[in-house]
Amino acid sequence: MAEKQITCCKCIDHGWKTYEEPIYTDAHENKYCLFHAPVDQKKCGNGKPMPKKLFKNFVFQYIEKRHDASKNLLCNISGTVFPDDIDFSAHYSKDKRLENISLQHAVFSGKAKFEGLTIKGLVLANAKIYGEANFKGVVFEDDPGLDHLTFRSRAYFEKAEFQKGCCFTGSIFEKVAWFSECIFSGTMVFHSIKASRNALRMHKLTKDSLSFVLFPSLEAHQFSFKECPDWPDDFGFENEEKTSKLTLEELYRALKQKAVEEHDQPQVSRWHYREKLMQLKQLLGAKTPESLSLLETVENDSFCVWHHAYQWLRLACMWPHDKWRALTWWYWWASGFGERPRRAGIVLLLLLAPVLAIFLSAELCPVQTFWGRVLAMLQHLMFVTNPKAAPNMPFLAFVVVLLTRILIPLQFTLFALAVRNRFRR
The site for Zn ion (CB under 5 A) is made up of: 8, 10-11, 20, 33, 35-36
By beta-carbon proximity to Zn ion, the closer residue of 55 and 179 is: 55
Smallest gap from residue 19 Cβ to Zn ion (A): 9
Smallest gap from residue 23 Cβ to Zn ion (A): 9
377 touches 320 (CB < 8 A): no
Q: What whole-number distance in Å separates Cα of residue 370 and Cα of residue 392?
A: 16
| Residue closest to Zn ion (Cβ) | 8
Q: Compute how many other C-beta atoms are within 10 angstroms of the C-beta atom of residue 316.
A: 14
By beta-carbon proximity to Zn ion, the closer residue of 38 and 366 is: 38
Q: What whole-number distance in Å separates Cα of residue 283 and Cα of residue 333?
A: 13
Q: What whole-number distance in Å separates Cα of residue 87 and Cα of residue 115?
A: 9
Smallest gap from residue 79 Cβ to Zn ion (A): 7
Question: HEC states along 211-238?
Answer: CCEECCHHHHHHEEEECCCCCCCCCCCC
By beta-carbon proximity to Zn ion, the closer residue of 30 and 392 is: 30
Q: What whole-number distance in Å separates Cα of residue 55 and Cα of residue 34?
A: 9
By beta-carbon proximity to Zn ion, the closer residue of 13 and 240 is: 13
The phi and psi torsions of 109 (rounded to 5 degrees) equal -75, -25
**Which residues have a Cβ under 8 Å from the Cβ of 145 and sit 6 or more positions away?**
104, 122, 123, 124, 125
Smallest gap from residue 203 Cβ to Zn ion (A): 41
**Which residues have a Cβ under 8 Å from the Cβ of 416 and sit 6 or more positions away?**
none
Q: What whole-number distance in Å separates Cα of residue 154 and Cα of residue 39?
A: 22
Smallest gap from residue 129 Cβ to Zn ion (A): 20
By beta-carbon proximity to Zn ion, the closer residue of 11 and 101 is: 11
Smallest gap from residue 8 Cβ to Zn ion (A): 3
Smallest gap from residue 189 Cβ to Zn ion (A): 32
By beta-carbon proximity to Zn ion, the closer residue of 36 and 276 is: 36
* Strand 22-25 versus strand 31-33 pairing type: antiparallel
252 touches 273 (CB < 8 A): no
State the number of CA atoms in the 13 A half-sphere of 357 facing the CB: 9
By beta-carbon proximity to Zn ion, the closer residue of 8 and 86 is: 8
Burial label for 272, CB within 10 Å (0-12, 13-18, 19+), is buried
By beta-carbon proximity to Zn ion, the closer residue of 27 and 382 is: 27
Q: Which of 170, 217, 178 is nearest to 198 (CA)?
A: 178
By beta-carbon proximity to Zn ion, the closer residue of 20 and 174 is: 20
By beta-carbon proximity to Zn ion, the closer residue of 23 and 344 is: 23
Q: How far is CA 80 from CA 13, 115, 201, 312, in A?
A: 12, 21, 30, 62
Smallest gap from residue 152 Cβ to Zn ion (A): 23
Which amino acid makes up residue 109? S
Smallest gap from residue 68 Cβ to Zn ion (A): 21
Smallest gap from residue 61 Cβ to Zn ion (A): 16
Give the dihedral sign, CA 154/227/268/288: negative
